[in-house]
Structure 1
């Protein structure tokens, strides 16, 4: 297996920890351990009683039950916990795909969902989201890409980096398209609960026997440092995932699963405040974007906390993003990291005061570029 460089991670590696103001992130403001303990009732004695033994290959039973009840059909045999959704996605792709398989991937899109199958020797069929349609996906275009050789359709809606999404009827049509050729439908649901003008979409694993959902603490939950995720998938797929995991991570650490169980039993306490904050910040971003419509072109995200504005007059934003960081101390992501170099990824999930200050400095930098 040969993986190409991930431009997003290359960019963040150089800038992330030294940025004065980060408005690049696709996640919400992180919680602290003190906040986690207060919100879950976790006591010091609960931690002291933990024994650092090995864990279950597919996850602790109580944790799988909670996930199955909220995001699945109630069957814990269809759940696997993971070291972040990235591990779950990687394991599922390795379990399902063989060199030469056709897979549908979305661009612009998150590198793991685009490149990992390529590294496995698969043949990508790219479902391109058109900026002229505000990146709204066309199901007719998806249907035209799918063939009898399609092994998997790999998507994430609400989408990273564009913030676009689909409707429930479109989701059901997508399931029908996958079912027509017997393809798996892999759904990165990192932002499933973080939508603004509609209800969250149904979980694809409850609609389709070859549907696989992935969840994570890294985005809407505000707990990226825990590196906890999960997937809901057919049991036979999880069996193949375990065979691969036996050579790598083996399981999720018991400490992480202890914390994860407490969080998931109090999920709304973590999700609702960050969604409320995101709604406020989205409104602030929208007002800023409208005031600078001569400099940027963007549609408000339908979900998630990342927007993908185009900087008018620039064919590539790499140098602009570097100058913004070096001269203003503000971090955003150049669109070249997602195959759309005229754009930037701008995150609005963090503290409101940081967003306001970051947008002000971004405005100053735009003015120096003739915007």
Structure 2
């Protein structure tokens, strides 16, 4: 089997490191090692005694305990992974087989649908429609969950649109999956980065065939740490370990030590970045309103990305290339999500960078419309 390319990673692979102004990212502004350790009253010297022996296949006991306490599950329901990408890859290969029917959103982060396709599953696509950033066609999703469905894969708050579901809608999804014994794979990368409501409940706490993915890369500002997790029943994690034995084996104990501090002091890490994101979100919403003749988007209710449609273009790839080449501004063309008329704009970084990037994008868009 050959897995399809990941267009988002292909787009960002070099540009992410060279573009002077980045308004493409789906995460908040990054923390330093000293900032994370400082929350625990320590500095880098505290890491000097770590022995570089192999870690446990499921992750170190302190890290699993910290994640369990954070999300209200038991430690034996936690596996720490190399980012959420490994968590998704291991889980889907553990639970899916060729020919399985899998319900996925039409616009999705590549790992959430292309891995299932690579396995040989039959994808049933749900086209998300929203009103003011809240899913408006949940009934259509529920009708797609039938006797042949093996798994439903969802990502809320959604990347790249920032749309989400209410807690009541999430409960309807869980109930529909439970009625048919369907696996629910829930990507909660942006669970704790929300603006108009409390974070959605953890589905693993309410349904034994739910599997949740999380990461320190998005809301926590620690993408370079490469720490994610999967929350699931112990037997699912045991199947993931069998696959991991042929891939990454385990995390680094150095990485796990920093991650423990991050999770134990999550609220202190999340608070400042959420405040920054809220202020930037207001700036972005004002920009969208001021340029509604050029672009169209609903307000993101979670995460730090918006996905505006560019009204004058059928494909934004050339626009994104020109924006980077002539103006030094990085965005993501919608073709990376099979939605070529759109752009992904990230608003989790510094306010001055966002403002400059949006001004240069507006200048370029205005030139196209004349």
TM-score class, shorter: over 0.9
Match of 1:273 in 2: 272
> SS of the residue aligned with 1:285?
helix
TM-score where L is the length of structure 1: 0.97
Q: 2:175 maps to which residue?
A: 176
1:141-193 Cα distance to aligned partner (Å, 9 max, x none): 11221121211111110000010000011000000111121111111111101
2:247 equivalent to 1:248: yes
Please say if residues 195 and 304 of structure 1, whose CA atoms lie closer than 8 Å, have aligned partners that are also in contact: yes
8 A contact 2:19–2:329 mirrored in 1? yes
CA offset at residue 133 of structure 1? 7.8
Say whether residues 1:120 and 2:81 are aligned partners: no
Contact 2:133 2:301 in 1 (8 A): no
Which residue is 2:104 aligned to?
Answer: 105
Change (3 A) 1:10 1:215: same
C-alpha displacement at 1:32, in angstroms? 1.4
Structure-to-structure mapping, 1:63-142, within 5 angstroms: 63-73=63-73, 75-130=74-129, 136=135, 138-142=137-141
The residue matched to 2:142 in structure 1 has which SS? helix
Q: What residue ranges of structure 2 are gaps of 5+ in the alignment?
A: none
Runs of 4+ in 1 over 4 A off after TM superposition: 131-135
Q: Is the 8 A contact 2:130 2:137 kept in 1?
A: no
Offset at 1:132?
7.9
Match of 1:205 in 2: 204
- 2:22 pairs with 1:22: yes
1:40-99 Cα offsets, whole Å, 9 max, x none, are: 3233442111000011011111211111111133x1111000010111111110100000
Shift of 1:370: 1.2
Q: Per the alignment, in what secondary structure is the counterpart of residue 187 of structure 1?
A: strand
Partner-residue secondary structure (3-state), 2:135: coil
Task: Give unmatched runs, 5+ long, in structure 1.
Answer: none
Whether the aligned pair in 2 keeps the contact of 1:130 and 1:137 (CA below 8 Å) is yes
Range that drifts further, 119-128 or 129-138: 129-138
User: Which residue of structure 1 aligns with residue 333 of structure 2?
Assistant: 334
Work out the number of aligned pairs and report it: 370
Shift of 1:195: 0.7
Cα distance in 2 for residues equivalent to 1:44 and 1:98: 45
Secondary structure of 1:151 counterpart: strand
Give the TM-score, by structure 2 length.
Answer: 0.97
What is the RMSD computed on CA atoms of the aligned residues? 1.3
**C-alpha spacing 1:264/1:231, structure 2 compared with 1 (3 Å):** same
